[in-house]
Amino acid sequence: MDTNKIKLLIADDSAIIRGMLEKNFQESGAFEIIDSVSNGKKAEQSATQKSPDIAILDIDMPEMNGLDACSIISGTLKIPVVIFSEDASAAERARQSGAALFYVKPNLSSFKKEFFKDLIQKVQDIALKNVSAKKELGVLPLETQKRGQNLSAKNEFKVLCIGASTGGPTAVQNVLCGLGEEFPLPVLYVQHLDVGADKKMADWFDSSCQNIYVKLAENGEVAKPGTVYLSPADRHLVIDCLTSEGLPILKLSDEPEDHFLRPAVNKLFKSAAAFYKSSCLAVLMTGMGRDGAEGCKVIVENGGHTIAEDKSTCAVFGMPAAAIELGAATEVLPRQEIPQKILSLVQNDGAAQ
């Protein structure tokens, strides 16, 4: 494999289109075609296994359409995607799915030299910009990040995630105040909030938790140890990627609601599990509904540790109960015991030495 060339993945259910794209991108001299597949599912699998620098996807494909594949490839794998479709009305849907560019696919008669010159230049610009940005941030490739998460048989926690809903602010405040000063991990916190209440909530937390800094999460910022990042109202809070030091770079997302919720605890927990594997520690506290249960399950399946608040201290036992029912709670504790348990887990793994 030529490391100086841009690694390109192509997905289109038309063998003719794939062949024309392959031929012209290869002849440009700047690209290496690492795979050319016929549907979105194969594109997702190829992107996961081969880590291309960029992908070109059609929309109408069998098994998984291009927009769904785009959401996974651009969202979870952080690989830029160009949606290449004859349906010009799909541009906005492509953007919402995370596409870096929507390019209208013309009739076959229009696949000429000037057309490919423009397309290749745009794809090359996007790919190079993305590669350069990752190098500047010191971001490790996702595959390398995953390999580095489980170097030890024991958990070495790198992030603490908290999710809550009804009764959550008081419950989480109790936990945060019990973590002492100089807590060694970044804390990512999703709370179901009404629009307009997030800034006041962050200020209240920061004033009432004298031992730890609490702020509203911002898009693109690096989450630092000893700071709590609260999800803004109506924005999903997820991890975009990691720095070379293993710190999370945050992303605020306008992706659709998850089970009618935005922000959703599930979104945060699943993204943390994807990047941190066994290094993820999460707490699911009081709240109505089931948000966070599926996220806890993903964390546990990846070797992480989850704590569900016990019914005896919950204002509403819905969310923790759902996680327990799924077998996704590593342990169940009353609120007053959670801070000490967190500290013992973090200190035992050596992170707080």
pLDDT at position 76? 78
pLDDT for 179-214, tens place per residue? Answer: 999 999 999 999 999 888 999 999 999 999 999 999
Average pLDDT over residues 10-15: 95
**Which residue among 46, 74, 97, 165 is the active-site one?**
165
Based on the residue annotation, tell me whether 109 is a catalytic residue of this protein: no
Query: How far apart (Å, rounded) are the C-alpha atoms in residues 353 and 343?
Result: 12
Local structure of 23: helix, strand or coil: helix
Based on the residue annotation, tell me whether 165 is a catalytic residue of this protein: yes
Query: How far apart (Å, rounded) are the C-alpha atoms in residues 180 and 273?
Result: 25
Mean pLDDT of the chain: 89
Q: Look up residue 244 and give its two tokens.
A: 């070379």
Quick check: 137 pLDDT over 80?
no
Task: Please tell me the pTM assigned to this model.
Answer: 0.59
What is the full DSSP assignment across 267-308? HHHHHHHHHHGGGEEEEE-S-SSSTTHHHHHHHHHTT-EEEE
Quick check: 145 pLDDT over 50?
no
Predicted confidence band of residue 151 (pLDDT cuts 50, 70, 90): very low
Q: How many CB atoms lie within 10 A of CB 266?
A: 23
Average pLDDT over residues 218-246: 94
**Which residue among 192, 253, 278, 349 is the active-site one?**
192
**Which residue among 53, 58, 240, 291 is the active-site one?**
291
